[in-house]
């Protein structure tokens, strides 16, 4: 759970890099995974572990798409600093 | 999205939601060479991934303290029906916390107010057909599934989540009408107006009664039709520039003088805008009125009053579009060419629905009543 809060904090405190944001999101998802696994061990129930496995799969796919989006964005903009993402302001 | 609505378990909910959202992230960035589009895709991805993380955290808390992820079993546990699984009183606050996280993730995806930050940017940057898709599909699917979750499993906890939903809906209505007053670009205007509509929808959700859910569903259907019409119009306004027919309608002032160049299109647009504003003999008015009746009958007086006031405010910017169409001479004269046939047919069907819904609302009424009953029982 502390991992989860660290992940959220990481997203908001980020001034420099979108990759850091992506990493924080992955951290959040991983923390939730850990949560699930711990609960399932405590409750002696298999569903938690099943769910954790599926979440892991989905998180992998999502980070793949996130990185692909980042690459496309970089090709157009040439930078991944956070403060330049303000084209659509208003 | 059909998987999403028919999911009966948190696992399938999350998988279907992610599968749908991943497709949407890619769709938002469809035009690879446009800066707006890629930026919109990136923003949408960050927002969506973050909200999925929050939702999942809620699911994990609920799983941890009750041991099940199935909706109907959760319903049985929370209403205290079965003997084996009574939730101990120390676990209840944690379940409520999990439910709050779930609700927050849901509100993010619906672009309701405290969490709507990037959605106007996303709606504006994405290519226009994709924006039309975004405005309609995720909202309808997510409302469907979350009606099931909150109507079935978490109904006993209604006090916390009703308060959260009420606050969010009030804020959405107010922000949706105020922030749209100063917009000069059409897609952004539509994004903010859809935030306002989501505020009304959440008010229907927060009622917690069958009439509330029915009002929500009617409003959702009418909202879908109105948005299809709007986007059919926006997508069909072709302009002739430099001997080329180009589909582009970005600023509000681009619409200027549509009354003279394409009077039927202007009339259609006017009717749609009046319906969105909630003016009497059109479908928008009926759905809003029903929603406010439902809110009043479950003692949510503040919501109804503020809803009516925000409706009046939003009238302003809808009617401003009408004024621009009919009474303003454009700075640069661009002529509109004829709209494509598919758009014309779509417009005809949806316009027919909007105009004549008031006279024959019974089929939709009956269907949504049945749906609301099955959701609650």
Q: Is the pLDDT of residue B307 over 80?
A: yes
Residue linked to tokens 């405190």: A13
Average pLDDT, chain A: 71
CA distances from B35 to B122, B126, B127 (A): 12, 10, 11
Share of chain B above pLDDT 90, in %: 0
Q: Is the pLDDT of residue B83 over 50?
A: no
Q: Please report the pLDDT score of residue A17 as a whole number.
A: 67
Q: Are B194 and B224 in contact (CB under 8 A)?
A: no
Q: Looking at A62-66, B194-198, B221-225, B319-323, which range is the least confident one?
A: B319-323
| Chain B residue numbers touching A48 (CB-CB < 8 A) | 63-64
Q: Is the pLDDT of residue B245 over 50?
A: no
B225 token code pair: 């039709």
Q: Please report the pLDDT score of residue B254 as a whole number.
A: 62
Is this complex's ipTM strictly greater than 0.85? no
Residue in B40, B56, B121 nearest the CB of A29: B56
C-alpha–C-alpha distance, residues A19 and A2, integer Å: 21
Q: Supply angle C-alpha B11, B69, B49, rounded to 5.
A: 40
The pLDDT of A59-74, averaged and rounded, is 83
Q: Is the pLDDT of residue B159 over 50?
A: yes
Residue linked to tokens 């939702």: B55
Interaxial angle between packed helices B186-207 and B158-179, expressed in degrees from 0 to 180 and rounded to the nearest 10:
160
Collect contacts of A86-89 with beta carbons under 8 A, ≥24 apart.
Answer: A87/B35, A87/B36, A87/B39, A87/B125, A88/B36, A88/B39, A88/B40, A88/B43, A88/B120, A88/B121, A88/B124, A88/B125, A89/B121
Please give the CATH number for the structural domain made up of A1-77. 1.10.287.3510
Residue in B39, B60, B63 nearest the CB of A73: B39
Determine how many CB atoms are found less than 10 A away from the CB of residue A84: 12
C-alpha–C-alpha distance, residues B286 and B200, integer Å: 13
The pLDDT of B228-233, averaged and rounded, is 82
Chain B positions contacting chain A at CB under 8 Å are: 10-11, 14-15, 18-19, 22, 25-26, 29, 32-36, 38-43, 45-46, 49-50, 52-53, 56-57, 59-61, 63-64, 67-69, 120-121, 124-125, 183, 188
Task: Please give the full DSSP string across B141-182, using - where no structure is assigned.
Answer: HHHHHHHHIIIIISGGGHHHHHHHHHHHHHHHHHHHHHHGGG
Q: Is the pLDDT of residue B328 over 80?
A: no
Q: Please report the pLDDT score of residue B270 as a whole number.
A: 83
The pLDDT of A57-64, averaged and rounded, is 84
Q: Please report the pLDDT score of residue B118 as a whole number.
A: 75
Tell me which chain A residue has its CA closest to the CA of residue B27.
Answer: A69
In this complex, is the C-beta atom of A65 within 8 Å of any C-beta atom belonging to chain B? Answer: yes
Phi-psi region of A3 (alpha: psi -120 to 50; beta: other; left: phi over 0): alpha
Q: Name beta bridge partners: B245.
A: B240
Question: Which of A82-86, B271-275, B322-326, B348-352 is the most confident on average?
Answer: B271-275
Q: Is the pLDDT of residue B240 over 60?
A: no
| Chain A residue numbers touching B69 (CB-CB < 8 A) | 47, 51
Tell me which chain A residue has its CA closest to the CA of residue B41.
Answer: A69
pLDDT tens, residue by residue, B105-142 = 888 888 887 777 778 888 877 777 788 888 888 888 88
C-alpha–C-alpha distance, residues B99 and B13, integer Å: 15
> Are the Cβ atoms of B29 and A69 closer than 8 angstroms?
yes
Q: Looking at B99-108, B209-218, B230-239, B254-263, which range is the least confident one?
A: B254-263
pLDDT band of B268, cuts 50, 70, 90:
confident
Give backbone dihedrals phi and psi of B70, rounded to 5 degrees, phi first.
-80, 140
> Are the Cβ atoms of A77 and B36 closer than 8 angstroms?
no
Q: Are B227 and B132 in contact (CB under 8 A)?
A: yes
Average pLDDT, chain B: 76
Residue in A22, A47, A88 nearest the CB of B36: A88
Q: Looking at A65-69, B55-59, B130-134, B354-358, which range is the least confident one?
A: B354-358
Task: Please give the full DSSP string across A41-84, using - where no structure is assigned.
Answer: HHHT-SHHHHHHHHHHHHHHHHHHHHHHHHHHHHHHHS--BGGG
Q: Looking at A73-87, B168-182, B272-286, B292-306, which range is the least confident one?
A: A73-87
Question: Which of A28-32, B101-105, B256-260 is the most confident on average?
Answer: B101-105
Residue in A35, A36, A69 nearest the CB of B45: A69
- Indicate which of A51, A53, A79, A85 best probes the interface with B, i.e. most B CBs within 10 Å of its own CB: A51
pLDDT band of A19, cuts 50, 70, 90:
low
> Are the Cβ atoms of A76 and B63 closer than 8 angstroms?
no
| Chain B residue numbers touching A36 (CB-CB < 8 A) | 60, 63-64
Please give the residue that has the higher pLDDT: either B180 or B246: B180
CA distances from B60 to A1, A40, B66 (A): 11, 10, 10
> Are the Cβ atoms of B63 and A36 closer than 8 angstroms?
yes
Q: Please report the pLDDT score of residue A59 as a whole number.
A: 82
Q: Is the pLDDT of residue B23 over 80?
A: yes
> Are the Cβ atoms of A36 and B57 closer than 8 angstroms?
no
Q: How far is A83 from chain B (nearest CA, A)?
A: 12
Which one, of B71, B77, B72, B107, lies nearest residue B92 by Cα?
A: B77
pTM for the predicted model, two decimal places:
0.82
pLDDT band of A90, cuts 50, 70, 90:
very low
Q: Looking at A73-87, B28-42, B357-371, which range is the least confident one?
A: A73-87
């Amino acid at each position: 759970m502390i991992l989860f809060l660290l992940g959220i904090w990481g997203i908001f405190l980020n001034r420099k890099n979108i990759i850091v944001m992506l990493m924080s999101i992955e951290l959040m998802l991983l923390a939730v995974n850990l949560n699930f696994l711990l609960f399932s061990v405590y409750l002696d129930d298999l569903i938690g572990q099943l769910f954790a496995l599926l979440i892991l799969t989905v998180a992998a796919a999502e980070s793949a798409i996130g990185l692909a989006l980042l690459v496309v964005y970089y090709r157009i903009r040439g930078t991944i600093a956070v403060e330049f993402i303000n084209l659509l302001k208003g | 999205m059909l998987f999403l609505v028919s999911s009966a378990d948190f696992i399938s909910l999350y998988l279907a939601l992610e599968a749908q959202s991943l497709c949407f992230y890619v769709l938002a960035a469809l035009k690879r060479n446009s800066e707006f589009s890629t930026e919109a895709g990136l923003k949408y991805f960050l927002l969506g991934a973050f909200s999925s993380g929050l939702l999942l955290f809620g699911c994990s808390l609920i799983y941890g303290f009750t041991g099940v992820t199935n909706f109907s079993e959760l319903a049985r546990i929370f209403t205290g029906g079965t003997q084996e699984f009574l939730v101990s009183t120390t676990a209840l606050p944690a379940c409520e916390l999990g439910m709050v996280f779930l609700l927050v993730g849901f509100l993010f995806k619906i672009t309701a107010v405290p969490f709507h930050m990037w959605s106007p940017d996303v709606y504006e940057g994405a290519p226009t057909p994709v924006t039309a898709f975004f405005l309609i599909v995720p909202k309808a699917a997510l409302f469907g599934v979350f009606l099931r979750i909150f109507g079935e499993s978490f109904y006993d906890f209604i006090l916390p989540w009703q308060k959260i939903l009420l606050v969010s809906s009030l804020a959405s209505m107010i922000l949706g009408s105020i922030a749209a007053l100063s917009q000069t670009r059409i897609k952004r205007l539509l994004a903010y107006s859809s935030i306002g509509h989501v505020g009304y929808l959440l008010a229907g959700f927060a009622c917690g009664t069958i009439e509330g859910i029915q009002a929500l569903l009617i409003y959702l259907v009418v909202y879908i039709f109105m948005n299809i019409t709007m986007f059919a119009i926006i997508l069909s306004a072709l302009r002739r520039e430099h001997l080329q027919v180009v589909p582009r309608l970005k600023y509000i002032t681009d619409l200027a003088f549509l009354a003279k160049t394409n009077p039927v299109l202007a009339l259609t647009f006017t009717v749609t805008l009046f319906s969105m504003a909630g003016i009497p003999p059109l479908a928008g008015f009926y759905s809003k009125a029903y929603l406010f009746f439902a809110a009043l009958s479950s003692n949510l007086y503040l919501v109804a009053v503020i809803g009516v006031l925000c409706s009046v405010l939003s009238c302003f910017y809808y009617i401003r579009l009408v004024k621009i169409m009919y009474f303003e001479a454009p700075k640069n004269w661009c002529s509109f060419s004829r709209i494509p046939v598919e758009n014309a047919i779509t417009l005809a069907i949806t316009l027919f629905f909007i105009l004549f819904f008031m006279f024959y609302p019974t089929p939709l009424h009956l269907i949504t009543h049945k749906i609301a009953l099955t959701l609650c029982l």
